[in-house]
Amino acid sequence: MYTAVERSSVAVTFDPPESVPRLAMIALSSDLTSERDAARLIPRGAALHVARVMNVNPATPDNLARMAPQLTDAAALLPEGVTLGAILYGCTAASVAIGDETVVAHIRKARPGVPVVTPVSAAVDAFGALGVSRIAVMAPYVEETAASVVRWFGRHGLDIVSAQCLGVADDRDIARLGGDTIIDAALAVDTADAEALFLSCTALPALGVIDELEERLDKPVVTSNQAGFWRLLRHGGLSPRPDAPGRLFAHELRERVA
């Protein structure tokens, strides 16, 4: 038995399109960390729309670079007909392997005019906002991948005074690294002449140890996801949640075109 459906007499109204601030992210198919970090940083009332792009492990520069042609299709899967404050590409080492400008170009083929954020360019902006240029880098990757990230930072105005890697080849394993391991690795790479510390890789679950490390080291600690979402939120004119970790969120983004 069923009842016929009737059209309701209630007048339909819609919220204005701008009533929900909208941000976007292209995450790797193997990513287990970025969305969890986003949930801790994106303020209530805002929306983060996520598309995924196929990634093949191990995370070597050659494998990471293979994502490039897929970025346009991934960006095309983001919601159409809405205004996006910015799009974050959620991979540090792939941004280096593909090339930061190439990442932006591929994404903008599908979403022209929308600011595109990569973790490496966001990190450079973050250190600029913090007023530091000499950094130590801890990367969970294998040596080849870690070295490519270090060289990229060196070409973009940062002095890398110390760099170490953990030799983990699969980003799904990186996502399972324990907090104690991350803290110990960060303390091991730090040096007296490093003004700040960078913890590379969007798969690295480092957001939860930033405050402890900054207290113990008495210097800024920046992670890939922290920097990426810091810049994403600033492009969207948004502030992070009040408990967002680290000194970085107290600083504004300088004017940027990309």
CATH number of the domain residue 172 falls in: 3.40.50.1860
Identify the pLDDT of residue 258. 42
At 175-234, the pLDDT tens digits run: 999 999 999 999 999 999 999 999 999 999 999 999 999 999 999 999 999 999 999 999
- Tell whether 132 and 150 lie within a shared domain: yes
Is 138 inside a domain boundary? yes
Same domain for 199 and 156: yes
Asked whether residue 68 falls in the same domain as residue 143, the answer is no
Residue with tokens 């992210």: 25
Question: Which tokens sit at 61?
Answer: 């520069």
CA distance 192 to 247: 19
At residue 26, what are phi and psi to the nearest 5 degrees?
Answer: -105, 110
Domain co-membership, 147 together with 192: yes
Structure tokens at 133: 């240029």
d(CA 168, CA 201): 11
CATH number at residue 82: 3.40.50.12500
| Structural domain that includes position 189 | 120-224
Number of structural domains (the chain) is 2
In a domain, 66, yes or no: yes
Model confidence pLDDT, tens digit, residues 138-181:
999 999 999 999 999 999 999 999 999 999 999 999 999 999 99
Question: Taking 60 as the threshold, does the pLDDT of residue 257 lie above it?
Answer: no
